[in-house]
Structure 1
Amino acid sequence: MKVFITGISGLIGQALAKSLVDRKVTVLGLTRDCDAAAKKLPSAVSLVDDLSSANDFLPDVVVNLAGAPIADKRWSQRRKAELFDSRVALTDRLVEWIKQLKHAPDCFISGSAVGYYGRHLDERLTEDGPIHDEFTYQLCQAWESSANQASDCTRVCVIRTGLVVASQGGFLAKMLPPFRLGLGGRLGDGQQMMSWVHIADVVAAIEFLMADPQLSGPFNLTAPGAVSNGVFSDSLGQALNRPARLPMPAWVLRLMFGEMADLLLTGQAAYPEKLLASGFEFIYPELPEALAQAVE
């Protein structure tokens, strides 16, 4: 099998590439900086910095994970345009590339996020759940629509990924320093829901979708048990054997991050109904075990 991965140097891309290489799958990745990416990836992974260089690869599966980090900077109009370009515009180009290949891939798996649903309280959101029309929905909806343009030539799966629990990188890496010092705590009132998923389950789910030709459409890539930010904070403190009693007031977050603070102060409880119905079994369905593995 041959797999082409965009965004291969990111958190999920690195973990997926390693798993595939361990299974003797041939992997080619698209990245802006091949030299930097090569230092993070197994030596068996080949890299290109433009799509035209991959024209002769003819992958069996394309996995699209590219996208600028959504929570690294304030959401100025310029930053919003960068977020759209790194996701939607790139996916547009990728779909066009797929359509001009001599042989279309068997499957196209493209990223999205639980931000597709926008802000909600604690209602369980399946793939058909309601949406709240705001920036994260608009971004994810455009991203998914772009990916679905490939459905006339290949099977398309869209993964609406939650907050990825991993020992290296991702949102947890930003939370760990203050929590290790006993300075962590809930954000705002802590009632906002967090749809999380362990990195091992992200990789396993993507490989699961690759393997089943009957699966297509959107999939919530989240553990079955979303929790509130308060519960998540308490659980992380327990995993580290540290108190988690210093809340960050909402007004401070809004002062620091502007509109982007909504990512931290609102949330949604996405539920992986389609994955579970398809027979996928989570390695880490419960938060305490997922956090214990990530911080050990």
Structure 2
Amino acid sequence: MRILITGGTGFIGQALCPLLAQQGHQLVLWTRQLKPNLPVGVTDYVQQLDELEPDSIQAVINLAGAGIADQRWNEQRKKLLVDSRVNTTRQLVAWMAKQTLRPQVLVSASAVGYYGEQGDAEITEATPPTPGFTHDLCAAWEAAALEAEALDVRVCLVRTGVVLAPEGGSLKKMLPAFRFGLGGPLGEGKHWFPWIHRKDMARIYTWLLTHESAQGVYNASAPEPVTNADFTRLLGKALHRPTLLPMPEKVLKLLFGEMADLLLVSDRMLPERLMQEGFSFDYPQLDQALKDLL
């Protein structure tokens, strides 16, 4: 297939694009960068959707969005977080509507933030959300993608957990402190941490892309979530370092403001639909994932 990808230069895209190319797909990146550093496997890019040859795209993968944990949140930053996701998705759907031969499938990113604080309850795709900024953001993002269903496009929504790889994301930010023996649990460490190996994350996108029966919402995290305390312990074990220095909740909120909620929210997310429909994780357990990553 010839696949259009947004956000392909990002953390997930850098693992996904080579995998798609290995599977024989042709990849076109939509990017606003003047001279993008194209991921391995990407053969072409456009800066405007109108530059694409009409009816030339068979599938779309939508990963676009400003980094949610890159900066402290204020109203301006929140607006950028929403606009970079929702408006980009709306533009994609509007472009699809202009095509005579429309893409067969849109696989569009969302996030575990859709659910909000859930305590110790297990989260499936049917779990009702708790109101809050991250839920509102994800709900609007998903609604924009679902507009493509009216165009007879199959839509899959990927509610992503914390993606792990040392090259980026949360793990890259954690590693320096942990390697110096300064890592520790956040707050009381009892909140649940829905993690996933980046290789499995990329494989989920390719699986949803090619399984024609796949449609709707999918939780994308490993089948064995852990608490923050257990994650801390296993990361310290993998690095052969102590993890004795907790970060109190008050300090986190002082340092990060409202964004501290991202670090303290409890989401025991399970990939129920992926498991029921036959997806198999290469890294279902955190200790084996960290061993591979580190």
Give the TM-score of the pair, scaled to structure 2: 0.97
State the Cα deviation string for residues 206-258 of structure 1 (Å, max 9, x = none). 11111111110000011111111111011100111111111111111111111
Report deviation, 1:167.
2.6
* Partner residue of 2:140 out of 129, 139, 142: 142
CA distance in 2, matches of 1:43, 1:281: 24
Aligned to 2:149: 151
> Alpha-carbon deviation of 1:72?
1.2
Task: Check conservation: 2:18, 2:41, Cα contact below 8 A.
Answer: no
Is 1:2 aligned with 2:14? no
Moved more, 97-106 or 124-133: 97-106
> In the aligned structure 1, how far is the partner of 2:260 from the partner of 2:187?
10
Q: C-alpha deviations, 1:129-179, integer Å up to 9, x for none?
A: 121000000000000000000012200000000000113111110001101
RMSD of aligned residue pairs (Cα, Å): 1.2
Other-structure match for 1:29? 29
User: 1:286 aligns to what?
Assistant: 285
Q: Output the amino acid matched with 1:117.
A: Y
Match of residue 244 from structure 2? 245
Residue in 2 that maps onto 1:183: 182
Matches of 2:83 and 2:92 in 1, distance apart? 12
- Pick the aligned partner of 1:71 from 58, 69, 72: 69
1:43 CA displacement: 6.0
Query: What is the CA–CA distance in structure 2 between the aligned matches of 1:202 and 1:177, rounded to whole Å?
Result: 24
Partner of 1:112: 110
User: Which residue of 2 is the match for residue 101 of structure 1?
Assistant: 99
SS in structure 2 opposite 1:164? strand
Please give the secondary structure, in 2, of the residue aligned with 1:11.
Answer: coil
SS at match of 1:37: coil
Q: Distance in 2 between matches of 1:56 and 1:100?
A: 9
Cα offsets for 1:243-291 (capped at 9, x unmatched): 1111111111111111110101112011101000100000000000111
* Alpha carbons 1:187, 1:264 under 8 Å: kept: yes
Q: Distance in 1 between matches of 2:34 and 2:190?
A: 42
Note the C-alpha offset of 1:17: 0.7
Question: 1:273 corresponds to which letter in structure 2?
Answer: E
Residue 220 of structure 1 aligns with an amino acid whose one-letter code is: N
Q: Does residue 18 of structure 1 match 2:14?
A: no
Q: Quick check: 2:110–2:142 contact (8 Å CA) kept in 1?
A: yes
Distance in 2 between residues matched to 1:77 and 1:219, nearest whole Å: 30
Q: After the TM superposition, which residues 223-238 of structure 1 pair with which residues of structure 2 at under 5 Å, given as runs?
A: 223-238=222-237
**After TM superposition, where is structure 1 displaced by more than 6 Å over at least 4 residues in a row?**
none
Mapped contact 2:21–2:41 kept (Cα < 8 A): no
Q: Indicate the residue corresponding to 1:61 in structure 2.
A: 59
Does structure 1 conserve the Cα–Cα contact (< 8 Å) formed by 2:28 and 2:42? Answer: no
Q: Deviations over 1:47-95 (max 9, x none)?
A: 1222222243622110000000001112111111000100011111111
Question: CA offset at residue 195 of structure 1?
Answer: 0.4
Q: State how far apart, in whole Å, the 2-side matches of 1:80 and 1:113 are.
A: 15
Cα distance change of structure 1 residues 261 and 44 upon mapping to structure 2, 3 Å threshold: closer
